[in-house]
Structure 1
Amino acid sequence: MKITYPHMGSLNMILKTMFEGIGVEVIEPPPTTNKTLSLGVRNSHEFACLPFKINVGNFIEALDKGADTIIMLGGIGPCRFGYYGHVQKEILKDLGYNFNMIIIDPPHGRLIDFLKELSSYFPNVDGKTALKSFLFAVKKMLAADKLEKFLLKHRAHEDRRGITTKIYEEYMKKLDKAQNGKEVDKIVADAMKKIKENANVYRKVQLRVALVGEIYMLLEPFTNMDVSKALNELGVEVTKTEYLSDYLINSAFKLPQRLEFKKNGKGYLERDIGGHGLNTVANTIKYAKLNYDGVIHILPFTCTPEIVAQGIIAKISRDYNIPVMSLVYDENTGQAGYQTRLEAFVDLLYRRRVNAV
């Protein structure tokens, strides 16, 4: 078996750690590029969302490298994500690829059953080895998320543009290669210390922006044109509201955040509409109450849950007097235009803060 999967933030590192830990050969999909996007667009339906198209491109490139098994999450509900694996499988089969597709539904409060289902595809793997590998992968995931949260706050204060990103990327490579928990802890501690040493610019007006929206678009820098980095380089501290660790914990343990989301969304949206639509609405209200300077809504073109949320958060923006900007992405999105919009939005936030003093 030569297994592969789609890119999504640090997912590649986490799944590679888990599968290599149980002795399964991993074929990493090449880093997502314009070539990946082109392959996905060419072989997907025109109105499929951007994450779907990039997944298809990831799979084609990985299959061309020799992968013979694809693992993908499934699901049910209003969001089309539940159909991804099945439709992608048919597309790739029609293209002439010979492979196995493993589609597993998210835990949704049944973590033990989820792990049993996953392990059934690897019958020759010892249960103790599998659990050890899974827990180490989770530790790396938590470490990667902790390091990114630290980066998004401190990179806005760097002395020299680019130095903090370079440090972060250097230590993420070390994290990828880490072989045990102590090594992971040391890497994270060293990275945070080094980032802090190079991020000590004092700003009289310090802006804070929360990023809300669809999880894939928030986690995968290629798809959102690395909006977090662009904001940091404009001197803005960034808070991302979705991380892999949040998704796993909430899915594994009966979605504990759902109660918080419904509470925060009271009066605007109090039920799940699929995808991360409820999260988007609730998080917009949460960070408005925390007096953030602004919210940026990230979504792929044609994403129904996020389109519904987009209309609701426009009302939240008026009610809470907080600027909200939506960035909608597809394969035709241009970097220059979005950078101009970000700069204008940050200028608006700065002027509001100065005038409020």
Structure 2
Amino acid sequence: MKITYPHMGSLNMILKTMFEGIGVEVIDPPPSTNKTLTLGVRNSHEFACLPFKINVGNFIEALDKGADTIIMLGGIGPCRFGYYGQVQREILKDLGYDFKMIIVDPPHGRLIDFLKELASYFPNVDGKIALKSFVFAVKKMIAADKLEKFLLKYRAHEDNPGVTTKIYEEYMKKLEKAQNGKEVDKIVSEAMKKIKENANVRRKIQLKVALVGEIYMLLEPFTNMDISKSLNELGVEVTKTEYLSDYLINSAFKLPQRMEFKKNARGYLERDIGGHGLNTVANTVKYAKLNYDGVIHILPFTCTPEIVAQGIIAKISRDYNIPVMSLVYDENTGQAGYQTRLEAFVDLLYRKRMEVVC
């Protein structure tokens, strides 16, 4: 078996750690590029969303590298994500690829059943080894998310543009190669120390922006044109509202965060509409109440849950007097136009804050 998976933030590092830990050969898809996007667009339905198309491109590139097994999450509900695996499998079969597609439904509060289902695809693997590998992969996931959260705060204050990003990338490579929990802890500690040391700029007005929206668009830098980095370089501290570790923990255990979402969204959205639509509405209210300067909503073109949320957060913007900007992405999105919109939005936030200060 030579297994592969789609890119989504640090997901490839986590899955590689888990599968190599149980002795399964991993074929990493090449980093997502314009070539990946072109392959996905060429072989997908026109109105499929951008994450779907990039996934198809990831799979084609990985299968061309020798992968023979693809693992993909499934699901049910209004969001089309639940159908990705089945449709992508048919597309790839029609292209002549010979492979096995493993589609695993998210835990939905039943972690043990999820692990048992996953283990059924690897019957020759010792259960204790598999559990140890899974736990270590989760530790790396939490570490990667912790580092990114730290980066998005302190990179907005760096003395030398680009240095903080290099430090982060250097330690992410070390994290990928880490072999035990002590190594992971040491890497995180050293990385945070170095990043903080490089953040010496103190601004009279410090803007804070929350990023809300569809989880893939928030996590995958290629897809969102590395919007967090662009905002940091404009001197804005960024809070991303979705991370892999949060998604896994809440899906696995159904912790109180789900109740918090429903509480924050009350009066605006009273039910789950699929995908991360409820999260988007709830997080917009949350960060408006925390007096953030603005919210940026990012979503893929044709994403129904996020389109519904988009209309609702316009009302939240008016009710809380917080600027909100929606950025809709597809394969025709251009970097220059989006950078101009970001700069204009940040200028608006500065002017609004200056009015308060004066």
| 8 Å CA contact retained: 1:263, 1:270 | no
Render the CA deviation track for 1:144-167: whole Å, top value 9, x for unaligned.
000000000000000011000000
Q: How far does residue 256 in structure 1 lie from its aligned partner after superposition?
A: 3.1
CA–CA separation in structure 2 for the residues paired with 1:200 and 1:22? 44
CA–CA separation in structure 1 for the residues paired with 2:139 and 2:64? 31
1:232 corresponding residue in structure 2: 232
CA–CA separation in structure 2 for the residues paired with 1:26 and 1:85? 19
CA–CA separation in structure 2 for the residues paired with 1:210 and 1:72? 29
Q: How far does residue 255 in structure 1 lie from its aligned partner after superposition?
A: 5.0
Secondary structure of 2:317 counterpart: helix
Percent of paired sites with the same residue: 91
- State how many pairs are aligned: 357
Q: How far does residue 254 in structure 1 lie from its aligned partner after superposition?
A: 2.3
CA–CA separation in structure 2 for the residues paired with 1:177 and 1:60? 26
Unaligned stretches of 5+ residues in structure 2: none
RMSD: 0.5
CA–CA separation in structure 2 for the residues paired with 1:90 and 1:18? 27
Q: How far does residue 258 in structure 1 lie from its aligned partner after superposition?
A: 1.6
2:19 corresponding residue in structure 1: 19
Q: How far does residue 257 in structure 1 lie from its aligned partner after superposition?
A: 1.8
Q: TM-score, normalized by length of structure 2?
A: 0.99
Render the CA deviation track for 1:4-31: whole Å, top value 9, x for unaligned.
0000000000000000000000000000
Q: TM-score, normalized by length of structure 1?
A: 1.00
Q: How far does residue 270 in structure 1 lie from its aligned partner after superposition?
A: 1.9
Unaligned stretches of 5+ residues in structure 1: none
CA–CA separation in structure 1 for the residues paired with 2:68 and 2:223? 26
| 8 Å CA contact retained: 1:265, 1:282 | yes
CA–CA separation in structure 2 for the residues paired with 1:249 and 1:161? 34
| 8 Å CA contact retained: 1:22, 1:133 | yes
1:290 corresponding residue in structure 2: 290
| 8 Å CA contact retained: 1:4, 1:67 | yes
Q: How far does residue 57 in structure 1 lie from its aligned partner after superposition?
A: 0.1
Pairing 1:51–2:51 present: yes
CA–CA separation in structure 2 for the residues paired with 1:47 and 1:39? 15
CA–CA separation in structure 2 for the residues paired with 1:256 and 1:233? 35
CA–CA separation in structure 2 for the residues paired with 1:255 and 1:241? 16
CA–CA separation in structure 2 for the residues paired with 1:114 and 1:255? 17
Render the CA deviation track for 1:42-89: whole Å, top value 9, x for unaligned.
000000000000000000000000000000000000000000000000
Secondary structure of 1:77 counterpart: coil
Secondary structure of 2:291 counterpart: coil
Secondary structure of 2:296 counterpart: strand
2:279 corresponding residue in structure 1: 279
CA–CA separation in structure 2 for the residues paired with 1:312 and 1:254? 25
Q: How far does residue 290 in structure 1 lie from its aligned partner after superposition?
A: 0.1
Render the CA deviation track for 1:175-215: whole Å, top value 9, x for unaligned.
00000000000000000000001011010000000000000
Distance 1:283 1:9, change over 3 A: same
CA–CA separation in structure 2 for the residues paired with 1:103 and 1:141? 21
1:176 corresponding residue in structure 2: 176
Q: How far does residue 298 in structure 1 lie from its aligned partner after superposition?
A: 0.5
Secondary structure of 1:56 counterpart: helix
| 8 Å CA contact retained: 1:108, 1:255 | no
The answer to which of 201-210 and 248-257 deviates more is 248-257
CA–CA separation in structure 1 for the residues paired with 2:31 and 2:60? 12
CA–CA separation in structure 2 for the residues paired with 1:149 and 1:64? 34
Pairing 1:320–2:332 present: no
The answer to which of 228-237 and 246-255 deviates more is 246-255
CA–CA separation in structure 2 for the residues paired with 1:272 and 1:21? 36
Q: How far does residue 39 in structure 1 lie from its aligned partner after superposition?
A: 0.1
| 8 Å CA contact retained: 1:75, 1:82 | yes
CA–CA separation in structure 2 for the residues paired with 1:126 and 1:146? 31
